[in-house]
Amino acid sequence: MRGQEHLGWKASLGGFYVIASTAGLLLAFSGGPPLGVTGDFGQPNCTDCHSGNSLNAAGGTFTISGVPAEYVPGNAYPITVAISKSGQSRWGFELAARSVTSGQQAGTLTATNTTNTQVRSSGGIQYISHTGPGTQAGSAQGTWTFNWTAPATAVGAIRFGAAGNAANNNLSNSGDFIYTATVTTDPVSVSQPITALFPQVAVGGGFTTLFTLVNTGIDALSGNLILTNSNGSPMEVALSAPSSLTIPSGGAKFIEAAPVNPTDSTAAGWARVESAGGALGGVATFQFASGGQLASVAGVLSADDTDVATIPVDDDATKGRFTGYAVANHEDNDVNIRIILVDANGVPVGQPMRPSQLNPLRAKNHVARFLFQDLNDPNLKQQGSMVLIADGGRKFAVVALVQNSG
C-alpha cells in the first residue's frame, strides 16, 4: 500500500530529517497527489493515505461537469470538477479520462489554469490534479476547470474517473473526507449516407419481405438496415439476421423480415440501408404465404431517390388490374407531391391531383395507394402513365405497385 510505504520511509529517517522531509512532503502531496489514485479502473483512491472517514460520506458533494453525453472527435470541452462539504476548508482532486473497453488514455487533458491545476502522466495515462495554490485553502469549496479534447477518431465510450479530497486544512492527511465520481461519454452517433431505398415493405398477414443486399464494390461495406412504419416510427419485425451488416466485396446478405407474431396483420412501410464502403445493390422480395404455402412472390429493386417519377398505367377494373405507388420520404423535411395523369397519347388528363396523403408526406413517412383511390373511381379504365412530382425539387423514393387479381 502506498500509505504504508510512505510511513515506513518516514519512520526510517532520523528526527531532523523527518521534520525536513515532512516539509518536503507538504509540498509534494498537498501540491499534487501521487498519480494513479482516481478510484476508477481498479485504482485505489486517496483513502490510501487520507483514511479515517468513510469514502463518499454523507454531507459532501463531488461532481464532474461539462462532459458531453456524446463527444465529437477532436472537439475540446471545458470540464469542471467541484467539491464541497460543510466544515471543511481545503480541497484536492485527481482525474483521468480513459477508454471504457481498453482502459487506454482517451483524448487529451489540458490545464487551462496552470496556477491551480497540473497534468502529469504515468503509464501512458494523463492525470490532472490540483496544485498547491489549487487547494484553495480557506474556501468553502474547491473548483477546477480545465479542457478535455476528444480523441481525433471515436474510441467508443470514454469514462472520466476522479477522486476528491474535502480536507480540513490541518496540513496533514488526517480528518479529511474522500469522494469519488465517474461520468461516461459516448461517441456522437453519425448517420451514414443512405445507399439503398426500399419504398415498400410489407410484413404480417401472410407477408414477409426478403432483402437481398449485394456489395458490388471493391471495399467491404458496413452499415444498417433500417425499417420504418408508414408514420415514420421504427417498424417492429423479426429479422433473420442482425440489422447491422458488414458485406465483403462481392458478397451478398439475405435478411428476411417476418412479423414478430405469425398472427400479426399486415404492416406496411419502407426500408433503407445506411452504409459506408463498397457499393450496394439491393432487391426486396415480398412473399405472400397463405396457409403456410408460398402463394406469390413479387420483387422490387431498391430505388434511387428522385424528384419526378413516371409510372406506366394500364388499369382495367373489369379485369381487377390496378396501378398504385409506394412513396417513402427518406428525408428529414416534409415533401409535397402532385400527381399528373397522362393519357396514352401523352396528353395530361384533368388537373394535377394533390392527394392529402402526399400533401404533405411527413419526414420518414410512407404511403402506398392505388390510382383509382386518388381518382375516386373504382371502375377505372385508363391507359397511359402517372407522373409524381415533388414541389421544390425535393427528393423521395417511389416504386410502382400493380394489383392483378384477374
C-beta neighbour count of 303 within 10 angstroms: 23
Site string (37-66) toward ligand HEC, x via CB under 6 A: x--------x-xxx----------------
Return the half-sphere exposure (C-beta side, CA atoms, 13 A cut-off) of residue 319. Answer: 11
Q: Does 136 bind ligand HEC (CB under 6 A)?
A: no
Q: What is the DSSP letter of 137?
A: T
User: Considering beta carbons, is residue 90 or 366 the nearer one to ligand HEC?
Assistant: 90
Q: Does 208 bind ligand HEC (CB under 6 A)?
A: no
Q: Does 167 bind ligand HEC (CB under 6 A)?
A: yes
Residues paired with residue 125 on neighbouring β-strands, in sequence order: 122
Which window, 28-36, 232-240, 262-270, 316-324, contacts ligand HEC (CB under 6 A)? 28-36
Question: Using CA atoms, how far apart are residues 85 and 167, in angstroms rounded to an integer?
Answer: 9
Q: What is the DSSP letter of 169?
A: S
Residues paired with residue 333 on neighbouring β-strands, in sequence order: none
Beta carbons of 299 and 339 less than 8 angstroms apart: no
In the list 60, 151, 161, 164, the residue contacting ligand HEC (rule: CB under 6 A) is: 164
Q: Does 93 bind ligand HEC (CB under 6 A)?
A: yes
Q: Which three cell numbers stand for residue 186?
A: 459516448
In the list 176, 305, 315, 374, the residue contacting ligand HEC (rule: CB under 6 A) is: 176
User: Considering beta carbons, is residue 28 or 342 the nearer one to ligand HEC?
Assistant: 28
List C-alpha distances in Å: 116 to 155, 358, 360: 30, 61, 58
Q: Does 94 bind ligand HEC (CB under 6 A)?
A: yes
Angle, helices 2-11/15-30, rounded to nearest 10 degrees: 150
User: Considering beta carbons, is residue 49 or 235 the nearer one to ligand HEC?
Assistant: 49
Q: Does 273 bind ligand HEC (CB under 6 A)?
A: no
Label residue 49 left, alpha or beta by phi (over 0 means left) and psi (-120 to 50 means alpha): alpha
In the list 34, 204, 282, 324, the residue contacting ligand HEC (rule: CB under 6 A) is: 34
| Residue ranges that bind ligand HEC, judged by CB under 6 A | 2-3, 6, 25-26, 28-30, 33-34, 37, 46, 48-50, 90-94, 135, 163-165, 167-173, 176
